[in-house]
Amino acid sequence: MWSIISVALYLILGPVVGGLLAGFDRKISARLQGRQGPPLLQPFYDLFKLFSKQSVVVNNVQDFLVCGFLVFIVFTGGLFFSGGDLLLVFFALTLAGIFFMMSACSANSPYSAMGAQRELMQMMAYEPMVLLTAIGFYKSTGSFAVSDIIHSSVSNIAYLPGIFIGFLFILAIKFRKSPFDLSTSHHAHQEMVKGLTTELSGNILALVELSHWYENAFLLGVVGLFIINSNWWSFLIAVPVCIIAYFMEILVDNTFPRVKWEVMLKSTWLVTLVAGVINLMILSFIK
């Protein structure tokens, strides 16, 4: 019963939360740069505007692939918030990412193609850490199911501090923020025109925005999963932790420049190795 309510809440509130996160991101970034910044609801205005624009469709496949991206992101978040298997959740997330990357490959544009290649490098960089996160939760609670993890007696961050740090590190890649916004980034930070989203316009681009909002809401949910335990007041601690994590991402976004893919790959794998693997090894001794 609760799982149906959670999924329904995610379906309806997910884009609202994601859009507000994007709005806060732009406002806080502007204030950090000494500017006024757009209104908080600006991402929603952007979304509605994109829905009202003409869609310049490049080929038949691209729209289908972007819709696949949206469907699998919603499936990922829905499965997660209904208490499903965490490993399946992360695999669905990867599949959604593949759909997005393929929509860029399908366009005959050098910018899209380069963006797709960089997106593959990004996936190669963060996948080990994501899988280690799922394995860490399994080792710490004995189950992959989110519904079991949220009922553990102690917050899992006590057993998984290294994995928590590693997950926050790769969150910069998933949120598409500097220093790891190689394949496509927010609006003004372009490099190869817009990378992955170069050939998308109108309502298809709006669907990509929507998918990113669902994805961000889901990712913050995973951050909260580290904190939530069987006590009801752990929710009250998880929400500020998620907000602080998101604020740190905004701060890092404004402080660091974009790096080359070699630096991203090496630094991410180094953090995965040091923080993630050592955490797992210590956990194997304890449990």
Partner 1 sequence: MVLFMLNVSKSPWLLHYDGSSCNGCDIEVLACLTPIYDVERFGVINTGNPKHADIFLITGGINKQNEPVVRQIYEQMPNPKVVVAVGICACNGGIFKECYNILGGVDTVLPVDIYVPGCAARPEAIIDGVVKAVALLDEKRRVRKEEARQ
The least distance separating partner 1 from the CB of residue 22, rounded to whole angstroms, comes to 12
Angle at 23 between CA 22 and CA 28, to 5 degrees: 100
CA dihedral sign of residues 178, 184, 187, 188: positive
Contact between 190 and partner 1 per CB under 8 A: yes
Q: Least distance from C-beta 38 to partner 1, angstroms?
A: 5
| Nearest residue (CB) to partner 1, 8 versus 41 | 41
Q: Site residues for partner 1, window 51-90 (CB under 8 A)?
A: 51-56
Min dist. Cβ of residue 122 to partner 1 (A): 20
259 touches partner 1 by CB under 8 A: no
Instruction: Give the nearer residue to partner 1 in terms of CB position, either 17 or 271.
Output: 17
Site for partner 1 in 197-216 (CB under 8 A): 197-202, 205
Task: State the CB neighbour count (10 A cutoff) for residue 250.
Answer: 19
Residue placing its CB nearer to partner 1 in the complex, 53 or 266: 53
Question: Where does the chain have alpha helices with state H?
Answer: 2-32, 42-51, 60-81, 86-106, 110-141, 146-149, 161-174, 202-225, 234-255, 261-271, 278-286
Distance CA 223, CA 169 (A): 12
Which two structure tokens, joined as six digits, stand for 146?
């989110």
CB of 48 to partner 1, least distance (A): 5
Nearer to partner 1, 21 or 271 (CB): 21
Contact criterion met (CB below 8 Å) for 162 and 101: no
3-class SS of residue 193: strand
Q: In whole angstroms, how close is the CB of 99 to partner 1 at the nearest point?
A: 20
11 to 50: interface string for partner 1, x by CB under 8 A: ---------------x---x--xxxxxxx-xx-xxx-xx-
Residue 199: CB minimum distance to partner 1, A: 7
Three-class SS state of 34 = coil
Q: What is the dihedral of CA 266, 269, 272, 278, to 10 degrees?
A: -90
Rg (CA), the chain: 19
Site of interaction with partner 1 (CB under 8 A): 26, 30, 33-39, 41-42, 44-46, 48-49, 51-56, 187-188, 190, 193-194, 197-202, 205
